[in-house]
Chain A
Amino acid sequence: AQKITQTQPGMFVQEKEAVTLDCTYDTSDPSYGLFWYKQPSSGEMIFLIYQGSYDQQNATEGRYSLNFQKARKSANLVISASQLGDSAMYFCAMREVNTGNQFYFGTGTSLTVIP
């Protein structure tokens, strides 16, 4: 079974609008971390935001927020006020307590911001 599922291969959003990128995960560990990364066409993987399994509040970092629904095992990334520079691949990832060395990546979502 896939540990991380991203069902949106490509997304388009109008500049200045908000967009939600979906991520669902599968784990039986009580302790796990969820991460989102941005990868522009230049190639670098940029760490955006982290949510821990015990965190009561949704994580926020500037224009990025994570809609964490533990019972549904989803960790969607919300980008507010989209900018042209947000056009990139976005990867959701997970790390578990029992397999700490492993980072499980989803297949990614390609986001295009339209002027």
Chain B
Amino acid sequence: DTEVTQTPKHLVMGMTNKKSLKCEQHMGHRAMYWYKQKAKKPPELMFVYSYEKLSINESVPSRFSPECPNSSLLNLHLHALQPEDSALYLCASSTETGWNSPLHFGNGTRLTVT
């Protein structure tokens, strides 16, 4: 079982909807990440939180809004998405941002925008 929990597993939303993706870890990790992955492609980094502060935003459109309420939780708020935003969204965490720390991923949320 993965130690990073993502909800929901699947999400279908219209372009005018507002929804949120949730991620939780209880491993004491201080860095948390959002990735977007299209089929047969590697994950693409969206956001990084380090010690609950946003440290990287990879020029992600403002219709994606991250939030880190505490060290265990990471949210991704979605608003006015486009069909091309349909993808697998992966949350990950690591002990820190050091070069020898692996990422631990959740099972992902499969998002479909209609």
A46 nearest in chain B by CB position: B105
8 Å CB interface, A40-69 against B = 42-47, 50, 52
Given A45-B90, A108-B40, check contact A101 B50 (CB 8 Å): yes
8 Å CB interface, B33-68 against A = 33, 40-43, 45, 48, 50, 55-56
Given A44-B107, A103-B45, check contact A96 B50 (CB 8 Å): no
Whether B99 pairs with A43 at a CB distance below 8 angstroms is no
Contacts of A103 in B (CB 8 A): 33, 45, 103
A95 nearest in chain B by CB position: B99
Whether B42 pairs with A107 at a CB distance below 8 angstroms is yes
8 Å CB interface, A14-45 against B = 29, 31-33, 35, 37, 42-45
Residue among A100, A106, A108 making CB contact with B97, cutoff 8 Å: A100
Residue among A33, A43, A101, A102 making CB contact with B110, cutoff 8 Å: A43
- Distance in angstroms from A108 CB to nearest chain B CB is 6
Residue among B31, B42, B100 making CB contact with A101, cutoff 8 Å: B31
Contacts of A93 in B (CB 8 A): 103
Contacts of B103 in A (CB 8 A): 35, 45, 47, 93, 103
Give complex CA distance A24, B99 in Å: 17
Whether A33 pairs with B42 at a CB distance below 8 angstroms is no
Tier of interface size on chain A? 20 to 34
Contacts of A101 in B (CB 8 A): 31, 48, 50, 55-56, 97
Whether A105 pairs with B100 at a CB distance below 8 angstroms is no
Given A101-B31, A101-B56, A106-B42, check contact A45 B100 (CB 8 Å): no
8 Å CB interface, B75-98 against A = 88, 90, 92, 96-98
**B102 within 8 Å of A (CB atoms):** yes
Give complex CA distance A47, B106 in Å: 11
Interface centre among B50, B90, B92, B105 (most CB of A within 10 A): B105
Residue among B55, B92, B100 making CB contact with A52, cutoff 8 Å: B100
- Distance in angstroms from A56 CB to nearest chain B CB is 15
Give chain B's interface residues, CB within 8 Å of chain A.
Answer: 2, 31, 33, 40-43, 45, 48, 50, 55-56, 88, 90, 92, 96-108, 110
